[in-house]
Amino acid sequence: MENKEFLTQQLLWIVISIGISITISWFVPFPLSWVVIIGVFLVLSFYMRYRMMKKMGSGVGMFGSLSSPFSGNSVNYYCMSCGTKHREASCPRCGSKMKRVG
Ligand SMILES: [Zn+2]
């Protein structure tokens, strides 16, 4: 699930980069367009690195303090209507979405 999301994001970035290159080479004459494109990509990669670092930082913080349902095996849900222990969005036994954390 995470891998697929990562791949989609990578693909999106490739599409965006191609779009940016084409757009720039349309408006800026050839030798200069390369300089502009390289400059734009440098800024973009810095921005991405910054965003990734921020994301990772907050991820670590969340892992330490809050117990998110994605952060480990410590959280279990119990169905409110039949009491089945599960980790799905809805109960696999009766389909109820009502659940409590245990
Ligand atoms: Zn149930």
Predicted TM-score (pTM) of the model is 0.39
Residue 34: helix, strand or coil by DSSP?
A: helix
Residue type, 39: G
Q: Are residues 52 and 76 in the same domain?
A: no
Q: Are residues 10 and 55 in the same domain?
A: yes
Longest dimension (CA), the chain: 70
Q: What is the pLDDT of residue 3?
A: 76
Distance 11 CA to ligand 1 centre (A): 39
Q: What is the pLDDT of residue 79?
A: 92
Domain span at residue 25 reads 2-65
Domain count of the fold of the chain: 2
Q: Are residues 60 and 31 in the same domain?
A: yes
Q: Are residues 79 and 52 in the same domain?
A: no
Q: Are residues 61 and 12 in the same domain?
A: yes
Length of the chain: 102
Q: What is the pLDDT of residue 68?
A: 47
Q: Are residues 57 and 16 in the same domain?
A: yes
Q: What is the pLDDT of residue 75?
A: 74
Distance 86 CA to ligand 1 centre (A): 9
CA dihedral angle for residue 31, residue 33, residue 39, residue 44, rounded to 10 degrees: -150
Q: Are 85 and 100 in contact (CB under 8 A)?
A: no
Distance 100 CA to ligand 1 centre (A): 11
Q: What is the pLDDT of residue 29?
A: 87
Q: Are residues 54 and 79 in the same domain?
A: no
Q: What is the pLDDT of residue 93?
A: 93
pLDDT along the chain (102 residues), means of 10: 78 88 87 88 86 68 45 73 90 91 80
